[in-house]
C-alpha cells in the first residue's frame, strides 16, 4: 500500500488527482491544506485530512511521517515552500517528490521569453534539483478544463512542445508518477497536448 501526501490539496490539479487516486488506485491519501473546510464530499477510508501550512515546518514534518510519496501542488512563497519541503522530507526519510512548476522556467518554450514572473518557479525548481530527493518536476502549459487525458512529455534541455494542457492530463501524470516506482526519477518534464 502506497501512502501519498498531497500538499496544496485544494489546488485545481490536486482536486482532479484526488479523484483519480480514489477511483483508480488503492493508495492512502493524506490531504494537506490551509483550510480543510474547502474539501467537501471526501468521505473515504483512503483519505486523511491535515490542516496546515507548508511554511510551518513542524506541522509539515508531522504530516510526512509514514509517507512514501509527496506531491506538491503549491502557490505563494514557492522558494520558502521548496526549502521546507526538502528539509521536512530529509528529516523524515521520505525520498519521492512530485513537484508542479511551470513551462518556461528554463527558457525552453520556442519563441517565448518569460520574465521575472517565473522566478519563483525557477528558484523553487533549482532547490528541488539540488536536493538528494527522488524528484520529478512537472512543467505544464496553460491549463484547460477539458475532460481528456492527452499529453506528450519533453525533458529538461528539450524544446517545450504544444501549449495548453488539461488539468486531467496533468493529474494523470501525477498519479502515474506516484504509483510507478522509479518512473522519471530526477527528471523535469514538460507536459502539453500533442
- How many degrees, rounded to 5, is the angle at CA 124 between CA 31 and CA 27? 25
Instruction: Specify the pTM.
Output: 0.96
What does the pLDDT read at residue 174? 98
What does the pLDDT read at residue 39? 79
C-alpha cell at 103: 513551462
| Burial 6-30, CB ≥16 within 10 A → b, else e | bbbbbbebbbbbbebbeeebebbbb
Confidence of residue 42 (pLDDT cuts 50, 70, 90): confident
What integer is the mean pLDDT of 74-87? 97
What integer is the mean pLDDT of 110-138? 92
Domains of the chain: 3-192 (3.40.50.720)
Q: What is the pLDDT of residues 139-183, one digit of tens each?
A: 999 999 999 999 999 999 999 988 899 999 999 999 999 999 999
Q: What is the pLDDT of residues 50-67, one digit of tens each?
A: 999 999 999 999 999 999
What does the pLDDT read at residue 5? 98
Decide if pLDDT at 40 tops 80. no
The H helix count followed by the E strand count for the chain is: 5, 10
Decide if pLDDT at 82 tops 80. yes
Residue written as cell 496544496? 8
Q: How far is CA 37 from CA 42, 74, 161, in A?
A: 11, 18, 38
What integer is the mean pLDDT of 16-23? 96
Amino acid at each position: 500500500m502506497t501512502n501519498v501526501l498531497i500538499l496544496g490539496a485544494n489546488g485545481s490539479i490536486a482536486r482532479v488527482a484526488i479523484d483519480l487516486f480514489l477511483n483508480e488506485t488503492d493508495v492512502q491519501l493524506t490531504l494537506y491544506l490551509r483550510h480543510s473546510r474547502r474539501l467537501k464530499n471526501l468521505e473515504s477510508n483512503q483519505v486523511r485530512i491535515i490542516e496546515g501550512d507548508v511554511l510551518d515546518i513542524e506541522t509539515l514534518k508531522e504530516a510526512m511521517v509514514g509517507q512514501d510519496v509527496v506531491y506538491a501542488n503549491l502557490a505563494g512563497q514557492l522558494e520558502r515552500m521548496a526549502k521546507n519541503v526538502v528539509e521536512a522530507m530529509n528529516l523524515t526519510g521520505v525520498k519521492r517528490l512530485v513537484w508542479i512548476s511551470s513551462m518556461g522556467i528554463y527558457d525552453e518554450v520556442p519563441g517565448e521569453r518569460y520574465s521575472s514572473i517565473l522566478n519563483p518557479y525557477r528558484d523553487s525548481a533549482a532547490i528541488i534539483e539540488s536536493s538528494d530527493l527522488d524528484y520529478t518536476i512537472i512543467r505544464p502549459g496553460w491549463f484547460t478544463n477539458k475532460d481528456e487525458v492527452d499529453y506528450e512529455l519533453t525533458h529538461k534541455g528539450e524544446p517545450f512542445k504544444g501549449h495548453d494542457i488539461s488539468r486531467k492530463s496533468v493529474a494523470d501524470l501525477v498519479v502515474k508518477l506516484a504509483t510507478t516506482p522509479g518512473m522519471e526519477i530526477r527528471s523535469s518534464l514538460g507536459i502539453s497536448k500533442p
